[in-house]
Amino acid sequence: MSVLVYIQTQDGTATKAGLEVASFAKNMNVGDVTALVSGTLSGDGGLGSVGVSKVLHFSEAVTDNAQLSKLTQAAAKNAAASTIVFSGNNDGNAIAPRVAIALNVGYVSGVTCLPEGKTFTRNVFSGKATAAVNVLSDVRVISITPNSFGIKPDAVDASVETFSADIGAQRVVINGFTPTSNDGSVPLPEAERVVSAGRGLKGPENWGIVEDLARALGATTACSRPVGDMGWRPHHEHVGQTGLTIRPDLYIACGISGAIQHLAGVNQSKVIVVINTDPEAPFFKAADYGIVGDVFEVLPKLTEAIKAL
């Protein structure tokens, strides 16, 4: 038995999400971990460091999810994989379901912890509940929620093998790519620390104090829905039931009331800090630490205290 992981790379090295997927697969403890990489790869892409024993390298960079599905199916056959693991980010979520259909096997998306036998745990109802899902087929495809498992170093020697397969024609052509952030911060779904702000900030011109705190913490910024809707912040920062669901280690909510739809996207964060002038704000009920206070006074103080660490 073996586990196949689909790994995304940047400049030839596995991304954080990729290393997490490989770590998860290794820790499932059901056999050797084989990684599938398409496009540029330098050395083993860092994959041996998290327990991958073999890397199948398809030299051409593939982006069309239909082609990636075919490529994964071929790699799964090559590795005789009984479990195929993807990151539950946008890219993984577009490929994994296709693979499950093509192989006619069960698919569990958004897995948050290691399985017990054939039972996987995932979040449902936008984080308001979890479901234990049994996979009835002999082979299974899963995607794991980014930042739910983490990267667990476990160095082995990884062999790299050139891999080829018939993946059909490309039908979705990419004309251009615009990165969401050009400041080099971690994409929101993968971020370990997030500083988020809402209508309490009063206007887009006041985001400096939010960004300062985020920078001091090495955090990524997020916002509530009305803030995205009013164009104070870009749409991709919107978290909640109709935005991104995230689970950072630390979520700092500044001037956000904590409406149920907002909480749905963030309540799995490991530690929640709430800063709000209203002691009755519902967010305090979901928080681990709270400050009743004005963000315009509190945030600069926090930034200073963090810089002083």
Ligand X SMILES: Cc1cc2nc3c(=O)[nH]c(=O)nc-3n(C[C@H](O)[C@H](O)[C@H](O)COP(=O)(O)OP(=O)(O)OC[C@H]3O[C@@H](n4cnc5c(N)ncnc54)[C@H](O)[C@@H]3O)c2cc1C
In the range 153-212, which residues lie near ligand X by CB under 6 A? 198-200
Binding-site partner at residue 230 among ligand X, other proteins, none, CB < 5 to 8 Å by type: none
Number of residues this chain uses to bind ligand X (CB under 6 A): 26
Instruction: In whole angstroms, give the CA distance from residue 68 to residue 86.
Output: 12
Q: Are 150 and 23 in contact (CB under 8 A)?
A: yes
| CB-based contacts of 210-216 (< 8 A; 24+ apart in sequence) | 210/254, 210/299, 212/299, 212/300, 212/303, 213/252, 213/254, 213/299, 213/302, 213/303, 213/306, 214/185, 216/303, 216/306, 216/307
Q: Are 55 and 76 in contact (CB under 8 A)?
A: no
Number of residues this chain uses to bind other proteins (CB under 8 A): 99
Q: Kindly state the tokens that stand for 156.
A: 């082995």
Q: What is the H or E stretch that residue 251 is in? A: strand 250-254
Instruction: In whole angstroms, give the CA distance from residue 246 to residue 265.
Output: 6
Q: Does 267 bind ligand X (CB under 6 A)?
A: no
Cβ atoms < 10 Å from Cβ of 112: 17
Binding-site partner at residue 276 among other proteins, ligand X, none, CB < 5 to 8 Å by type: ligand X
Q: Mark the segment that binds other proteins (CB under 8 A) among 23-31, 44-52, 150-158, 180-188.
A: 180-188
Q: Does 183 bind other proteins (CB under 8 A)?
A: no
Closest separation between CB of residue 252 and other proteins, Å? Answer: 9
Q: Does 225 bind ligand X (CB under 6 A)?
A: yes
Instruction: In whole angstroms, give the CA distance from residue 193 to residue 252.
Output: 8
Q: Does 247 bind other proteins (CB under 8 A)?
A: no
Which of 29, 153, 173, 280 touches other proteins by CB under 8 A?
A: 173
Residues 63-82 that bind other proteins (CB under 8 A): 63-66, 69
Closest separation between CB of residue 3 and other proteins, Å? Answer: 18
Cβ atoms < 10 Å from Cβ of 176: 4
Binding-site partner at residue 155 among other proteins, ligand X, none, CB < 5 to 8 Å by type: none
Q: Mark the segment that binds ligand X (CB under 6 A) among 21-29, 60-68, 109-117, 291-299.
A: 291-299
- The set of residues, in sequence order, having a beta carbon less than 8 Å from that of 237 and lying 6+ positions away, is 188, 221, 222, 223, 227, 228
Q: Does 236 bind other proteins (CB under 8 A)?
A: yes
Binding-site partner at residue 199 among ligand X, other proteins, none, CB < 5 to 8 Å by type: ligand X
The residue assigned the tokens 């994994």 is 96
Q: Mark the segment that binds other proteins (CB under 8 A) among 23-31, 52-60, 85-93, 151-159.
A: 85-93
Q: Does 127 bind ligand X (CB under 6 A)?
A: no
Q: Give the nearer residue to other proteins in terms of CB position, either 230 or 271.
A: 271
Site string for other proteins, 108-137 (x = CB under 8 A): xxx--------x--xxxxxxxxxxxxxxxx
Q: Does 246 bind ligand X (CB under 6 A)?
A: no
Count of alpha carbons within 13 angstroms of residue 82, beta-carbon side? 13
Task: Using CB under 6 A, list all residues that contact ligand X.
Answer: 198-200, 224-227, 240-243, 255-257, 259, 261-262, 265, 275-278, 281, 294-296
